[in-house]
Structure 1
C-alpha cells in the first residue's frame, strides 16, 4: 500500500473514533472503511466518499476535522495546512508572556495580532467554560459555557501588554454583551482574561479610559475575568485567515464596515457635545 494511502486510512479511522464527528459523518466514513476492508480500491471509495461529503462541504457545514480530511482528499493543500501546536509555548519566562482575548469569532482575531512585531504565536481556542476538551459543535451550541478566544504569546522586549489591550479595543464592539457583529450568542461575548494582578490593573485602567473618552453612547460591557484552562480549537480554525482567504475577507470586511460606522458615530457625538458645551 502506498504511504499516502496508509496515512489516509489512518485519518479515516481516527475520524470514526473522534467524539466530535457527527453521526451522519461517522456513518459515511464507516461505510468507506468497511468497503476498504472488503477489498475495494481506495481511490474508488474516496471518490464516493467525497461525493457524499461534498454538499455539506460546499455549505461549510462539516465538522472541523472532517473538513480537514475533505480538503486533504480533494487536494486543497492550503486549506488543509496543519498548525504546529508544539510551537505555541512560552520558552523564555524572562521575556515572554501570554494574553487571552475573546472578541467574537476567533477567525477574525488572529491576523491583527499575529502580524504585529513581537508576536510569537496566536492560538484559537475555547476558554471560560465548565467542560474539558470542548468541541466546536459543543461551544457553538452554547452547551459548555466557553467563549471563542485567542491566546497570544509575545516578546515583552518588543511589544507590551498595554499595546495588545489597546489593539483589542479597536477590533471589538465593547458595548455588545450578546455577541460581536454578525456573530450572536454567549460564545461570542467580549471578555479580556487576565492572568495576574498586573494585567488586571492595566486592563481596568484601559477600560476606564475608554469609558471616560465618551466614544460610545452605550455602556462598556466587556468583562475582565481571570484566565482559566485554554482549550485549543481544531486545526481547521487555526490561522483561518491564511487557509480560507476569500471567506475570511468577506467576514472581516463586514466587521470593519461596522467598526468604521461606529467610530464615525462616536466622532460626531463628541463634536456635537463639544459644540453644545460652548458658552
Structure 2
C-alpha cells in the first residue's frame, strides 16, 4: 500500500465514531509518521505490531480490523456492502427480523434459500438510536444482534423462514445462544403485524418438543439499525473463520437439543 492510499483510510478511521481511543492513538502516530515523510514500510510495521495482540483475540473494532487485515494481506474480501440493495419495493416482498445469537452465523442459513432478496446484519430492540458494535456488545443498550430478511412471498413463505429459525437456534436458552453469551445474543422473533399469529403458533408447536420452557420472545418489529460493513456477509468475507464457528455452533445445537428434549 502506498502512502497516498494509506492516509485517507487512516484519516477515516481516526474520525470514525466507532474507533476506540487506544486504536485512534496508534492511528494518529502512524498518520504523523507518514506525513513527516518517514519510511512508510516502517510506520505500517509499527502499526501492525501495535494492533496484533488485539487482532489475535478478535478484539479490534470492526473497521479497524478490516484495515488490519488489509495491511497484513489476510483479508479475503474487504469490499463494501451495498446497503442500497437492502430494500423491498414490490407488493409481494415482506420483511422479518430474527435474533438468535451472533449475527455472523445467522445470515448464511437464510441467504442460501431461494426467494431471499436480502439479509442484513444489525441491531434492534434497544433504547438508543444508531448504536455501534461496541455499544451493543456491552450488553447495556438493550439491543440484540439480529438479521433483517427481505423475502419474496411468491417463492418462500414466512412459515418456512420461522421453521428454519427454530431449527438453528436453542429456544430454551435466555442467556445467549451456544458459545455467544450475553443479553445481546438472546433469542427473539420480531414480527410484522401479519406475522404475529403464525409466529405464536410455531412457538406453541416447538414447546411440545421440549421438556424445558421455551424462552424465545415474540415482539413487534422496531427500528432496525444496520451493523458496520465488517459484519455484513461475514461468511463470504472470512469463510475459514465462519466455517469453524458454524461447526462449533452445530455441534452445540445437536448436544443441547437432545439434552433438553430429554429433560437433562
Structural mapping, 1:232-243, within 5 Å? 232-243=226-237
1:88-237 superposed matches below 5 A: 88-92=86-90, 94-196=91-193, 198-211=194-207, 214-237=208-231
CA distance in 2, matches of 1:184, 1:74: 30
Matched, 1:250 2:244: yes
Q: Could you give the per-residue CA deviations for residues 104-128 of structure 1, whole angstroms, max 9, x where no partner exists?
A: 1111111100101111111111100
Give how far 1:47 is off: 2.5
Q: 1:36 aligns with which of 13, 34, 56?
A: 34
Q: Quote the Cα distance in structure 1 between the aligned partners of 2:252 and 2:47.
A: 40
Once residues 266 and 142 of structure 1 are traced to their aligned partners in structure 2, the CA distance between those partners, rounded to angstroms, is 26
User: How many residue pairs end up in the alignment?
Assistant: 263
Report the 3-state secondary structure (helix = DSSP H, G, I; strand = E; otherwise coil) of the residue aligned with 1:120.
strand
Larger radius of gyration: 1
SS at match of 2:80: coil
Cα displacement (A) at 1:66: 0.1
Q: In 2, are the aligned partners of 1:71 and 1:79 still within 8 Å (CA)? A: no
1:46 to 39, 44, 47: 44
For residue 266 of structure 1, report the CA deviation from its aligned partner: 6.5
* TM-score for the superposition, normalised by structure 1: 0.88
The unaligned stretches of length 5 or more in structure 2 are none
Query: Matches of 2:87 and 2:230 in 1, distance apart?
Result: 20
CA contact under 8 A between 1:215 and 1:266: conserved in structure 2? no
* Unmatched 5+ stretches in structure 1: 270-279
Other structure's SS at 1:39 match: coil
The C-alpha deviation readout for 1:208-247, integer Å capped at 9, x for no partner, is 1222xx3111111110111111111111111111222222
